[in-house]
Structure 1
Amino acid sequence: MSERRPFPRRALLRCCAALLPVALAWPAWSDERSVQQILQAADAVRNPPGSFSVRLQLTEYRQGRQSANSVLIVYARPSPDSGQYRNLVQFVAPARDAGKLMLRNGADLWFYDPSSRASVRISPQQRLLGQASNGDVMTTQLARDYRAELIGREPLKDGEGVQRDSLHLRLSALREDVSYARVDLWVDAVDDRPLMARYYSAEDRLLKTAYFRRYETALGRTRPSETVIIDGLDSGWVTVMRSSEQVLREVPEAWLQRDYLPRFRAQ
């Protein structure tokens, strides 16, 4: 009987070295795009390219009972310099707020009240209605304001109660003037749809959780038509933001200037 020869140690080491990257990569996500490109793709699902307008209805619920309602029209136009959206928000309802305006141009956010004909600087973190802040109703490109890292690939139950294969992204603010210091965002691993987000303060306190749901076809692709926003401390305090009448349109440069606010008329 022939003598069994031991497997060469050097060959064994080479074999292990070759298999190590495969072992480390499994079951890791294998998309060749960068994490920042995934965030850009998720932005494109939420926002159409170019200038547009959209109607938003915000409804606040306390322990299941409707407590407030507001209707806005948002006009959005990307900046030629930064690519970030500039916004003019027109208040439509309730009647006491009709005609009021908010303007965001770069880092500046202004509120205009036609009764006083005065515009005052405000914060994007300030509450607008319920859990929706001023910054929440503005059109934004998250990839312009945040640095993204991939936390992992995770199963997630979306806002419709359906189990999804998702990518968990952690977004860190690049500047202090953005609405949230940190955002945890889950996007569909197949089609980049935003599914859920958690928003945190600079002190790392959970402020709110949002579910993006009721996807419908709008301006050439499927987009979320409803966002459900839940308070970080009181899960019974919920704000539902519904979008409709999304239209590509020219948003004049003049509308996005603070001096023009007293002259703006409902379109």
Structure 2
Amino acid sequence: MFNTMKGTLLITLSLFGFSGSVFGSEESRDVASMVVNADNYRQGYDAAKVVSKVQLFEHAKLDKTREYHVYTRLNRESLVVFKSQVEEGQKMLMLGDNYWLLMPKSRRPIRITPMQKLLGEASVGDISTLTWSEDYHASLVDTEELDVESNAVLAHKLRLRSTTKGASYNRIDLWLDTETDFPLKADLYLRSGKLAKQALFQAGELNGEKRVVSMVLLDKIQPAKKTVISYQEITPFELEDKYYNPAYLTRNVAAEL
């Protein structure tokens, strides 16, 4: 009944010349909802702890592995704690558009960019930012059929353009399952317009819910290399405010999390 009423309303408005603006507004809201739904598959909480493992493969052989504990909360704030022995004591803090790296033997936080590499194709932004809806404006480009693990899946192709200085990429072409809004694939572009890398998303179950359990990053220039970010644990968790202060973290570099 609702769909019938909505259709009648659009037809009525079109008779008076208003259909373009109404449809455009409705479409914009629908696309925004798609991106929020896609974000929820990647994290889904206002504040959370995400245990991430990053693996670098070369010629299909595992080369290196790193582990990170990521604490996220609203307003584009996150703290990344480096857990592997070779990076022990390092932390990365993101507050909106500002990123700092904190080293165990340094008295000052080091300013970095979201494109700072961690391992392989995994950058600071890839680890710390788990939402698209806060950093990008999305528009619907097309509907296409993708080959996902030898299955044909109908997908909405969205174009995401950055709205913040701290966004990892200037533009993202993102494909979402038309039925569920689950993210399938993303092409990640730099401000120069160059395609930086491609991301493929794998579905699985965490805490009894369907989630993105891994993101595979592919470098078109070095096809022999592949970086896999696995989300081993995603739990609601509220970290104390003091940990989002670079001055506190510098004074307390040994603080365990």
Q: TM (normalized to structure 2)?
A: 0.84
In the alignment, what sits opposite 1:37? 33
State whether structure 2 residue 98 is matched by structure 1 residue 122: no
Specify whether residues 102 and 32 from structure 1 end up closer, same or farther in structure 2 by C-alpha distance, changes over 3 A only. closer
In the alignment, what sits opposite 2:8? none
Q: 2:222 aligns with which of 221, 230, 234?
A: 234
1:68-118 CA distance string (max 9 Å, x none): 211110011113xxxxx311000011x121110000011110000112243
In the alignment, what sits opposite 1:223? 211
User: 8 Å contact 1:168–1:187 — kept in the other structure?
Assistant: yes
For residues 90 and 181 of structure 1, the distance between their equivalents in structure 2, rounded to whole angstroms, comes to 26
Specify whether residues 214 and 45 from structure 1 end up closer, same or farther in structure 2 by C-alpha distance, changes over 3 A only. closer
Residue 255 of structure 1 aligns to a residue whose secondary structure is helix
Given residue 123 of structure 1, which amino acid in structure 2 is its aligned partner?
T
Given residue 227 of structure 1, which amino acid in structure 2 is its aligned partner?
M
Superposition misfits of 4+ residues, deviation over 3 angstroms: 30-33
Paired residues, what number? 232
Q: TM (normalized to structure 1)?
A: 0.81
In the alignment, what sits opposite 2:134? 144
Displacement of 1:175 after TM fit? Answer: 3.1
In the alignment, what sits opposite 2:98? 108
User: 8 Å contact 1:207–1:233 — kept in the other structure?
Assistant: no
Specify whether residues 161 and 98 from structure 1 end up closer, same or farther in structure 2 by C-alpha distance, changes over 3 A only. farther
Displacement of 1:33 after TM fit? Answer: 5.0
In the alignment, what sits opposite 1:74? 70
In the alignment, what sits opposite 2:234? 246
For residues 253 and 239 of structure 1, the distance between their equivalents in structure 2, rounded to whole angstroms, comes to 32
In the alignment, what sits opposite 2:177? 188
Residue 118 of structure 1 aligns to a residue whose secondary structure is coil
Specify whether residues 177 and 50 from structure 1 end up closer, same or farther in structure 2 by C-alpha distance, changes over 3 A only. closer
For residues 29 and 165 of structure 2, the distance between their equivalents in structure 1, rounded to whole angstroms, comes to 28
Given residue 240 of structure 2, which amino acid in structure 1 is its aligned partner?
P
Identify unmatched segments of 5+ residues in structure 1.
1-17, 19-29, 80-84
Q: Which protein has the larger Cα radius of gyration, Structure 1 or Structure 2?
A: 1
Displacement of 1:176 after TM fit? Answer: 3.6
RMSD: 2.1
Identify unmatched segments of 5+ residues in structure 2.
1-14, 16-25
User: 8 Å contact 2:79–2:94 — kept in the other structure?
Assistant: yes
Given residue 56 of structure 1, which amino acid in structure 2 is its aligned partner?
S
In the alignment, what sits opposite 2:248? 260
For residues 74 and 43 of structure 1, the distance between their equivalents in structure 2, rounded to whole angstroms, comes to 16
1:191-241 CA distance string (max 9 Å, x none): 1101110101112111100111032133x6311111111013222211011
Displacement of 1:31 after TM fit? Answer: 8.1
Residue 143 of structure 1 aligns to a residue whose secondary structure is coil
User: 8 Å contact 1:230–1:236 — kept in the other structure?
Assistant: no
Given residue 53 of structure 2, which amino acid in structure 1 is its aligned partner?
Q
